[in-house]
Chains A and B, each alone.
Chain A
Amino acid sequence: MIGAAYMLANTMVPEVHAPVAETMGLTAKAESAPAPVPMVYALGRPATPEEVAAWDIDVRPDGHGLPDGSGDVWTGEELYIDNCAVCHGDFGEAIGRWPVLAGGQGSLTDDRPVKTIGSYWPYLSTVYDYVNRAMPFGNAQSLSDDEVYAITAYLLYLNDLVDDDFVLDQESFAAFEMPNQPAFYMDDRADTEYALFTGEPCMTNCAETVQITARAAVVDVTPEDEAAREARAAAHEAEEAVVEVAAVAAEPAAVEAEPVAVTEPAAAGPDLIAAGEKVFKKCAACHQVGDGARNRSGPALNNILGHPAGAVDGFRYSSVFQDMQAAGLVWTEDELAAFLTAPKTYAAGTKMSFRGLSDEEDLTAVIAYLGSFAE
């Protein structure tokens, strides 16, 4: 729209403060040059209050943005076990390489500091904001305000920062200070480093002797090139093929056992399957199912019902699952229900850290949902 560009006298552009600009590495502006008057392009449309409210969920250290609501430690514990423990562990100690949430106090000067909410995070508002916007992983923004308050309260409790009768709301939030807050300060590289790392360096005869003090080959953690890996795998394949043929010949029954129970879930109604899809969100941080599903922290789950346990291609199973596969266990609805009710009891030593589904309806639904991905 030529001609629609207009200038507003009251549109202020904050000035660049030279000292601040320099520490931030901004281009210094010539002081004598008059500040350019900004062109204002009349584009876009006004946002409605409902639209702003829908997206503007951020919370600041001063409590700006915190909604009404409250949550206590014990409600938080239940929610945490159901929604968070699968990755972060029952006590915030973390499963695998998922973030550790609790402990580590006093470790920040150690060789291996443990940076957690309690030991490192400067502001409580960050916990509320992040849980609210991004958690549970793979099912973001599914928690109510009260639930986020409760989980935040429980995370403080896990870090020994509050007692078990603590209730988090706007009032208790305002009175709360995180212990490590004073340890943070503004980037000071311009003052502490830049002078050290400036000036003409030595170019000739700068050292008498030079010795190697550390070598990456000794650490040996670099991923191998795939071509190299495939070449080696091909060399091994011949041997393994011989072993496999022998195993199949000895135990043909194990492979053919029980192709059962696929008819019933296939007949499951669309409502049940839809309900199961919702329950599956608890699993989705680690498992994929459907078109293009791939192995993640857990195996891809297409075609799992009625098929042998521990047999998804390319997934590295725990030994308990390897044993189950060797024993010829097949995932019938009953077996799957038993496993998902109490994973760690059913398969002691499983890598799956999920606490289990206590609600029978959820169980039936999620199994129906998985059954809908049969070939």
Chain B
Amino acid sequence: GSDPAITEIQPWMQELGEGVDARPYGTPSRFEAHVKRRNVEWLTADPVSSVNFTPLHEMEGIITPNGLCFERHHAGIADVDPSVHRLMINGLVDRELVFTMEDLARFPRHNRVYFLECAANSGMEWRGAQLNGCQFTHGMIHNVMYTGVMLRDVLNAAGVQTAGKWILPEGADASGMTRSIPMEKALDDCMIATHMNGERLRPEQGYPVRLVVPGWEGNMWVKWLRRIEVGDQPWHHREETSKYTDLLADGQARRFTWAMDAKSVITNPSPQAPLTHGPGPTVLTGVAWSGRGTIPRVDVTLDGGKNWHQARMDGPSLDKSMHRFYFDFEWDGKPLLLQSRAHDSTGYVQPTKNQLRAVRGENSIYHNNGIQTWHVDARGEAENVEIG
């Protein structure tokens, strides 16, 4: 028969819609209300010191919309008034300085697209498949275009002394977030960002200023940045000792594991995004990234790794940014075991979870970049599984 969507007049075909004054700051269609950040209640004691997850399975391309960028706070979202926010540079510098937000805007500005991944992304999966959905297994990541000033320009205004080998950025929130960062990185590509995707930083992403530490773990990207101290040695503060150190099977722990290694995940199909169309032409897609370069290649398997195919990379390929890949195939309606495997520009190939476990054990929490497996059954429903 005929499709009533065509043969019947829909309300929006007949009636007038809202005027240009109805949505001065627009929001997505009401039919997209399910596209949102989600948290996992049992993970933490309280939402003010917790994390939520980017809905990767609902997104396309490589840019994360600002309202969907995952959040991680240690003392809630600081509600900072920019007119009384200051950035101080102190320590081993020739001139200890204070900047207003207006001062910062007078340094030369730069635009860069970078991913920010929490070191604990996929951390719940070390002991085996646990959370059913790429939002939960891989959603502690976002990828936006930052506008800001180079950290080196700000440090040079203060004049870093030769003994200054480390910096300690500090946040203005009630956790007073601090991390030690080596001076080489600070002077290389770090930024003090004021904007993301063309608009001011969102409060939950550090408004009015955050540090950008390309390719390195998200905890170092201090939000609500208020101070940078220059010193001759690292500070070994809470977030780089009791947290964000990687405990290995022998009881020893790696510290300063800053770089995020190459990783990828198939976002569709996945547990929250089943195949609903039945056999026939199917678009498989996902994202890949590396903290050490670009992603020239991603391999995809439909049969649990017996045979692999090179995926089609599409969209911009930028240093330390998210990349988009596709694999367009004819689904025969039989169960699938899907995996993706990223190759980065250094030649590093994303390992399996078991390869990682062989080196590190299962207690390290952080830096789990192992290959993810989805089992798709004959109905098209997907599940997080591990295979051997």
Contacts and interface: CB of A to CB of B under 8 A. Distances in A.
Interface of A: 1, 8, 10-14, 16-17, 20-21, 24-27, 38-47, 51-52, 55-56, 58-62, 87, 96-98, 108-109, 111, 113, 115, 117, 120-123, 125-126, 129-130, 133-134, 137-138, 140-141, 183-189, 192-194, 196-199, 201-207, 210-217, 219, 221-223, 225, 227, 285-286, 296-297
A52 B226 CA distance: 12
Contact of B385 (A56, A62, A214): A214
Contact of A198 (B160, B308, B349): B349
B341 A201 contact: yes
A12 B160 contact: yes
A27 B345 CA distance: 12
A196 B304 CA distance: 21
B199 interface: no
A219 B308 contact: no
B226 A55 contact: yes
A111 B362 CA distance: 8
A216 B252 contact: no
Given A11-B94, A198-B347, A187 B45 contact: no
Interface residues of B, number: 117
A25 B131 contact: no
A161 B362 CA distance: 28
Interface of B: 34, 38-49, 74-75, 88-91, 94-99, 103-104, 106-107, 128-133, 136, 152-153, 156-162, 164-165, 168, 170, 174-176, 178, 182-185, 187-189, 215, 226-227, 229, 231, 233, 235-238, 241-242, 245, 247, 249-259, 261, 271-272, 291-292, 299, 303-309, 337, 341, 346-351, 355, 359, 362-363, 375, 383-388
A210 B184 contact: no
A201 B95 CA distance: 53
Given A44-B99, A216-B131, A201 B387 contact: no
Contact of A183 (B158, B187, B251): B251
Contact of B46 (A39, A204, A207, A297): A297
B87 to A, nearest CB: 8
Contacts of B158: 44
Contact of B75 (A16, A137, A198): A137
Contact of A187 (B90, B94, B258): B258
List 7 tightest A-B contacts by C-beta distance, closest first.
A210-B304, A216-B384, A133-B176, A44-B97, A108-B251, A214-B386, A214-B128
Contact of B185 (A26, A47, A126, A202): A26
A278 to B, nearest CB: 16
A286 B46 CA distance: 8
19 contacts: A8-B159, A14-B160, A24-B184, A24-B258, A56-B91, A129-B238, A134-B74, A134-B75, A196-B359, A206-B305, A210-B305, A211-B387, A212-B386, A215-B383, A216-B129, A222-B132, A223-B136, A296-B48, A297-B45
A210 B303 contact: yes
A38 B156 contact: yes
B237 A130 contact: yes
Contacts of B128: 214, 219
B131 A109 contact: no
Contact of B130 (A21, A47, A216): A216
Contacts of B249: 109
B257 A217 contact: no
Nearest to B306: A207
A42 B157 CA distance: 6
A38 B188 CA distance: 12
Nearest to B362: A111
B184 A17 contact: yes
Contact of B241 (A52, A56, A123): A123
A222 B133 contact: yes
Q: Could you say which of B40, B170, B385 has the most chain A C-beta atoms within 10 Å of its C-beta?
A: B385
A196 B351 contact: yes
Contact of B253 (A8, A17, A21, A184): A184
A25 B184 contact: no
Contacts of B252: 183-185
Contacts of A206: 305-308
A98 B258 CA distance: 26
A120 B337 CA distance: 39
A119 B363 CA distance: 15
Contacts of B91: 56
Contact of B174 (A52, A113, A129, A138): A138
Given A1-B106, A60-B231, A123-B236, 9 more contacts: A13-B187, A115-B247, A126-B241, A134-B174, A185-B254, A192-B359, A198-B346, A205-B307, A222-B132
Nearest to B388: A213
A46 B308 contact: no
Contact of A44 (B152, B157, B250, B384): B157
A41 B303 contact: no
B350 A197 contact: yes
Given A123-B236, A199-B347, A217 B174 contact: no
Nearest to B90: A52
Contacts of A59: 235
Given A13-B156, A26-B185, A203-B307, A58 B235 contact: yes
B96 A140 contact: no
A188 B160 contact: no
Contacts of B156: 11, 13, 38-41
Contacts of A221: 40, 42, 130-131
B257 to A, nearest CB: 4
A285 B261 CA distance: 36
A219 B305 CA distance: 24
B306 A14 contact: no
Contacts of B350: 197
Nearest to B374: A216
A43 B384 CA distance: 53
B161 A12 contact: yes
A140 B75 contact: yes
A212 B97 contact: no
Contact of B227 (A8, A55, A134): A55
A249 to B, nearest CB: 35
